[in-house]
Structure 1
């Protein structure tokens, strides 16, 4: 199970690879997506902070606009399609390997998938924690 714990950390590291983000006005750093969304604020315009955009290569992305604690508007870009880069392929491969290992340990595949996704979003997983303690 210690190997699974190490692999989980690797998957989280791949997920957070686009961070840290730094505010060019005040220098505040956001180390991961969870911190970015928790410590920034919605724009005061009342409009959605999400905007769909099309990259030069035709890839659709979602741009997220948030205000830094200093008031400066920050933008981050998230792909709303499967990441077809080598990085994306490696992330999916690692996720699949972890999912298989967890199901081999007796965890229902749907539960294992949900717990891995929750973990990637920065949430704690009692189920995975308990499995790793065995």
Structure 2
């Protein structure tokens, strides 16, 4: 896990955070992402992850499951580029993703391939 690629907490005092159920303490965002599991997107308890607030701008509400099963939520800065150019880039990526999927590649694998290509990975 590359700490530089992790989203940064919205508030400086976000961590440490503890599970109210088992009292496990997550000292920082690395612990939070490493020692918890993602909440499935279809989980009714998870709201839309992207929020907009007048004073702090765009942020993510990230829901994760503690090892005890409790759901934890923390707010993080969004790294998503919502400028006109950024939105255009996202649309282009989605078009490419669909094209790769239509060639018979599963969506998750197609996404990983495209992201690898954009990152300069030359494995394939």
Higher fraction of helix: 1
Q: Between the two structures, name the one with larger relative contact order (CA 8 Å, sep ≥ 6).
A: 1
Query: What's the TM-score bracket when you normalise by the shorter of the two chains?
Result: 0.3 to 0.5
> Normalized against structure 1, the TM-score is what?
0.41
> Normalized against structure 2, the TM-score is what?
0.44
